[in-house]
Every structure is written in C-alpha cells, then in structure tokens.
Amino acid sequence: MTSDLRRLALGTVLPAFTGTTAPAWLLDRLREGLAGVVLFGRNIVSPEQVAALVRQIRDVRPDAIVAIDEEGGDVTRIHHDRGSPYPGNRVLSEYGDLAATRAVGRGIGAELRDLGINYNLAPIGDYVTDPLSPLTTRSFGRGPRDNAEHAAAWVQGLQEAGVAACVKHYPGLGGSLLDSHLALGRVPASRAEFESEHLRTFVRAAEAGTASMMTAHVIVECLDTEAPTTLSETVIGRLLRDEIGYDGVLISDALEMHGVLNHTGSLPAAAVGALRAGVDLLCLGAEQYEEATTAVVDAIVAAAGSGALAIDRLHEAGRRVEAMARAYPGTPGVPGTSDTAAERAIGAAAAWGATVTEGEVSIAGSGVHVVTFDDRTSIAAGPVPWGIGPELRAAGVEFRDLVLSPPINEDPDLPDVAPSDVVVAVVRDLPRHPASAEVFARLRAPRLVVVDMGYPGTEYPGAAGVIRTFGASRASSVAAVRALTEAGANLVG
C-alpha cells in the first residue's frame, strides 16, 4: 500500500535540478513514477544538448512531462543567452493581430517540440493595468477583451505545434502589485470587477482548450478572504471545476515562493495543502532539488496514509496529468526539424508594427552615447540580456556604451559629449525603480532620445524623442534600432 501511495505522490511532483545532464537521483525518481521535471536556463547550453538531456529523461520514463517556462518576450529559457527572437505578450496585444499572436505561439511550440519538450508554462493570462506591477509587459494587457483573446490565440498556436499550454496565474494576479516570489499579495476588487477584468481570460482559455492552468499565490478577496488560490478549495473546486467547468490539469506556481510559504510555513505543508485544495501537479521551484522532492513526497504519503489527504484526490490528480501526457507526448528531440522562419518573421513584423515613436528619434549623422539603465524587471525573467547594443553594432553604428546597474548612487559619467551628439537612454519600467528614475532625471545631454522597452505610459518631458517598444525581446531590440537608424521613420502602433 505504501509503495502505491508513493507512486501516486511522485506522479504529482515536478522538481528542478542543476547541471546539463540528468543527475542519478532524478533518473531514479523517474523510474519510481516522478511526473517529470522543469528545465531552467542553467540546464541549457545548446539545442543539441537539451535534446540529449530530454532523451536521457525519456529513456527511463517515456511519458515524462518535460516542462519549461518559455513565454517569449522578456522571459525565455531556450534563448537565455541572447534574448528571445519572439516578441512578448504586450507587443502582440499592441500589434492587435490575433493571427500573429497564434503564429508566435506556434513558432515557440515548434522549437520546444524539436527539443523534446512537451509542456510550456506559458502564456501569462494576467490582466495588468498598473506600471508598478511586477508582471508589466509579460501581460497582454491593453484591455480585458484583448487580453483574453490574445491569450487564447497564443494557447491555440502553441498546442497546434504539439506542446501543452499553461495559462497563468489563475484566477488572475494582475491586480496585485506584490511579487509572489517575495510576498503574499491581495486583490481587493469586487466580484463584478474581478470577473470582467481578470477572470474572463481564464474562462476564455478554458473555452479555447488549454491543457492546463497555473495557480496564483494571491488572495482574491471577493473569492476567498483567507487563503491564496493555491490553497483554496473554494477558488479551485467551487469556481474553476464546478462553475467554469474546467477539467484540465491545474499546476501550482512554484511552491518555494514566499507568497505560499509565508502562509503554510514549509514546502511539504504547501504541497499537501495544494493537493487538498485541488491542485494536480506541484511545481516545487527553481531551487528545489533532491532533498525537497523527498520531503514533499514523504509528506504527501504521510497525509494520504493518515486520512489528512484523500487518496481519491491523488487518483484524480494522476488521471488529469496522465491524460495531458497522452495528449501531448514528448517526441525524440531533433533540433532544427521545424522551419520556424515564417513564425519568427511574423513576430519581427509584430514587434516593428507595435513600435511607436514620438518626436525626433533619428541618430543619423550624430555621435552616439547609449546609456542603459539595467534594472531587472522580475525574478521570473532571470538574467536574460536585453537592450540595443548588439543590434546597434550589427547595424554598423559606432557608439559609446554605458551600462548603469543597480544600485545606482551617482550621476552617469558621459565624457566628451559634443554639442551635436545624441544620448540614447534605454529604460524599462522606470517607475518600478526609484533609484534609476532619480538618476535618469539628472541625465543631461545635448539631445536625448529615450528607448522605453517596458510598460507603456511613462512620460519623458526632457527628451527630444521617445521610442516605445512594449517589451525587451531581441525582436523588440531590432525594431528599436530600426527606428533609430531609419531617418524620418514614422511608426504607428
């Protein structure tokens, strides 16, 4: 009986690991019934290496779920060394073409499928309207209906390519200004407001057939005043399962996040509480390996053995996870099998079409200084390169480069700035970074052009020109450089 419970418990767990090959402990757990793994940028060196890693995993468990967080835009794992060639969600919403959004999802899906990956923890479905949100341009945004329709289109494109989608973070994290990695946030909206602005995307995703959704570590006061969604039987069982009628996989957001740990006190308690509430698959987090996996599985087995967690709940979770694995089986990874040139081109066109310029932005004929305010937008994005430097060099532009990384305590030093020079300040989500905003306000230049690669809305009264890209992917960087180097460019998003 205990061995059966252990296999059921293992079938609900997705841990991470270090290294570019699967460690022995992970392969042993996979043989015993572990559901699968989550890959991060640290596990990735090259397409060939990732494909070999996935084959190593599937050699011991052919139906393993191999998950990754590949949103495009600012959040990428397979392109973490250079930045994503696909624009992010806000760019796609600003561009306004659902077919383009579907194509981007399809292109990302094809590239993942070629690596053998069958589960993508994307797209973001949260509706964000505040520049202080940690989600910013990861959200489709723009309007509640646009947010819902573009999320559905992205899901359909990804799943057309044979990769299971995961719309996150149910029932909507966009109304909280706290990062769930660090704290438990609250959404104070009324039920009517919450349904019209936030919940509608997840209802639409269910209609579109998304294979899974991910829970939010947030308290939505109009739904449950006490527990975050990950631990709420009301928000999961009563609303998602009964009212909305969704029967796909529900995966937790990373259980190492303080948004849930501050509520439960420990990772094993969070895991048991999430399963009890109706979660089917447990994402342990980026830094939770063998020891955490063992502790979580032991806690699930103990809870099921004592009656604190219904065994039927484990069977239900296993049924859903196995159904998703059958619907989206991992194929032997062969990098480059799919030709995604068309989808990448559509994404590049969307990035260019969404880009907006204000004032005079051309740098032609000027000495150029580039000042990048290198603030990290979110923990989820991780250390992915961004900015315009590589694309400017590729365009043959000579410039002096200054990168300001936090903490920023003094004025930027711009030596030898001639009266005819132009200073290009590259920023994103400046309102979220007061220290950078203060330094930016003291920036002096003969002519200042701002490249804003973050959430829209910030004004720059001292700038001669502003370029707004609505994201910081490589596709958006190319669009920004095109705007800077094409004299007289008149872009309308």
Query: How many degrees, rounded to 5, is the angle at CA 363 between CA 362 and CA 364?
Result: 95
How far from the centroid of its chain's Cα atoms is residue 267's Cα? 22
Residue in the structure block whose two tokens are 């740098």: 363
Q: How far apart are CA 114 and CA 164, in angstroms?
A: 14
Q: Are 64 and 324 in contact (CB under 8 A)?
A: no
Instruction: Encode 228-265: b = buried (16+ Cβ within 10 Å), e = exposed.
Output: bbbbbebbbeebbeeebebebbbbbbbbbbebbbebbe
Q: Which residues are catalytic?
A: 181, 253
Q: How far apart are CA 442 and CA 436, in angstroms?
A: 10
Q: Which two tokens stand for residue 121?
A: 């923890």
Measured from the Cβ of residue 308, the count of other Cβ atoms closer than 10 Å reads: 11
